[in-house]
Amino acid sequence: MTSTPSQIILAQVLETKKENASSSPMIDKRFFWKLFRSYTPGFQITRENQEIIYSIFRYFLQLPDFNEYGVIKNKAGLNKGLLVYGDYGVGKSTLFDAIHTIGKAIFKHSGSTQLWFPRISSIDMLTRYYEAQRDSTSNFKLEDYYRGKLYLDDLGKEDKAYNREEIIGKLLFERHRRSLRTYVTTNDNPSAIAARYGNHIGDRLPEMFNIIKWEGKSWRE
């Protein structure tokens, strides 16, 4: 069976780790870049978005200078999660999906979780929540998302559960309380998030996240 370019690059990354074991992150930026370009050759990095994208890359690579471009306006920290908000179609979800794919591949080959995180959209989570209420055999439990890392896409697009309960707000509150690293992409700004889920969530956003505003032309046009 012939290896794909992505598999070859991944093998190089892991071999380099074996030869250069140290206290530095497992994946350095040169190999990450090769993996990213191999897995997502069509992703567009432009003058308009490059500082945001490179800052996010550096964050996941755990580089101390990850906010060199100053795109994070609140107090930046590698121990926090990421909240990336802004215009429709600029590439927020696509970028996180790419990082998720790379992290999954590395995890399968080496067991490293540096770039690995589970993902779910807020709409899908609410759908699963409804299904669990109707189906006693469902294995969905909201509490299962109260541990580990998590990427939550399309925050704010979901309805209230039964038009009264903010399931996602409850999830965010619990994850903050437990100091869990959370990654969020959304079209809603922090003020809109606070208005939707309450000030008890809005006030915690700067503590919980490195907050990045991503504007630009939609890829969907």
Domain ranges of the chain: 5-214
CB 126 within 8 A of CB 158: yes
d(CA 89, CA 77): 27
pLDDT at 25: 47
Phi, psi at 213, each rounded to 5°: -95, 125
Amino acid at 12: Q
Tell me the whole-structure pTM to 2 decimals.
Answer: 0.86
Q: Stretch 142-159: mean pLDDT, rounded?
A: 96
Residue 87: phi and psi, rounded to 5, are -65, 160
Res 221: pLDDT: 57
Three-state DSSP class for residue 119: strand
How high is the pLDDT of residue 23? Answer: 43
Which tens digit of pLDDT belongs to each residue from 21-42? Answer: 444 446 778 889 999 999 999 9
In CATH, which superfamily holds the domain spanning 5-214? P-loop containing nucleotide triphosphate hydrolases (3.40.50.300)
Between 21 and 89, the higher pLDDT residue:
89
Distance CA 49, CA 119 (A): 23
CA distance 102 to 83: 20
* Average pLDDT of span 103-130: 91
Which structure tokens are listed for 9? Answer: 């690059």
- pLDDT of 5 higher than 60: no
